[in-house]
Structure 1
Amino acid sequence: MDAKEIIARRVAKELKDGDIVNLGIGLPTMVANYIPKDMDVMFQSENGFIGLGPVPEEGKEDEDLVNSGGQPVTIVPGAAFFDSSVSFGIIRGGHVDATVLGALQVDEKGNLANWMIPGKMVPGMGGAMDLVVGAKKVIISMTHTAKGKHKILKECKLPLTAANQVDMIITEMGVMEVRKEGIILTEINPEYTVEQVQQATEAKLIIPKDLKQMEI
């Protein structure tokens, strides 16, 4: 498995039967591919529908079915479509159980920066600013580093999407929970050592005595 598949598979294990979950663009959309068939999880897309399905097979995309990032998607039986006001009413009203987002940077205080790329024109942060404060649980799914550069920092250097809102970080190296005392490494991919994970992380990780092997 490549890094993104490892991450998506592990994120899927965090979701529970009956959850309403928002998936951000990019890697998070892969999570829908790994939900057990006997589990009822409804995925919401902030551009106006609930019932997001797995990523479509190549050549079977429907140009009228896209997520908020304009990527082709599928829908499941029972899906519902609505306008943006209803969609953001669901998000801001606290009806989303979890949101899975990518990130450029996360820090030990649970701050998130995931929209401003230096040197590139970007339209804005989209629905992320609403999702991170409206969802009951915020899960960051991302590769641990970017071309060797740290992404899990002591303090974010890019403009923040939100402050103190991240609950969990899942990378190909492990699973981390963000708490008041800092970032706790709760699970580690057995292909890495604790030293390697710490070396790839600027923030000081808290290593519990009962550190578990990462479930994939």
Structure 2
Amino acid sequence: MRHDLPIPPGHLGLGDAFDLAFARLEDATRIVRVADPTVQIAARLWGHDRAALVREEKARARVEALIRAALATGVLTAFCYSPNGGVWGQIPTRAGWSRRSDFPGLDTFLDSGEGPDVGGSPVFVERAAFMSWMAAASRKAGIRPGRKGRPSVMQLVLAEYGRRAEMGAFEGLPLVAVAHDLQAWFKQTHSDLPAPSPSTIEKHLRKSRSDGDAPKTNKK
């Protein structure tokens, strides 16, 4: 895999695009992630945490199917680098997008049989085009933030906070700065949805922290 090749500005790695769609189209905050391969194998062979695995796999499979269909029909365009890594452009064929991996989901680096053969290049999509497609997919499915069984605006914010906090992105920052940063992210990522105010985000972060659900940041 060519991990040395960067995702061009204005684009999203296919794995990041999938994660965004999963958070938007499914209530990802209520799905227990079963990411550990050992746990996955145990669930498949011996039934340990089987229910959690089934819920996650079904949810991820639904989103994967939507993205694969869009790529296979040309609604979405995927890009990759040339074999020598010097230039990048549109993947010349849409054949292969109907295939599925053993574990539902999409990655930026595709294993053999998971899509078109791109020679180990990262696969990416144009950010603006993907965000437009995701908004249309939400409308088509009748998804509204806050609708029962669907992610709310704040759940999307908290999911992003949790993802970035795990990487230490907010370590030492005051909550007010974190809240402003998350609002800016939300406006860019979910521009078709009403963004919560920084004060609302900060209030929910404080509540999550008091409930023991959020990583610690500077209190100020």
Normalised TM-score (structure 1): 0.28
Which fold has the larger relative contact order, with Cα–Cα distance below 8 Å and residues 6 or more apart in sequence?
2
Larger radius of gyration: 2
The structure where helix makes up a greater share of residues is: 2
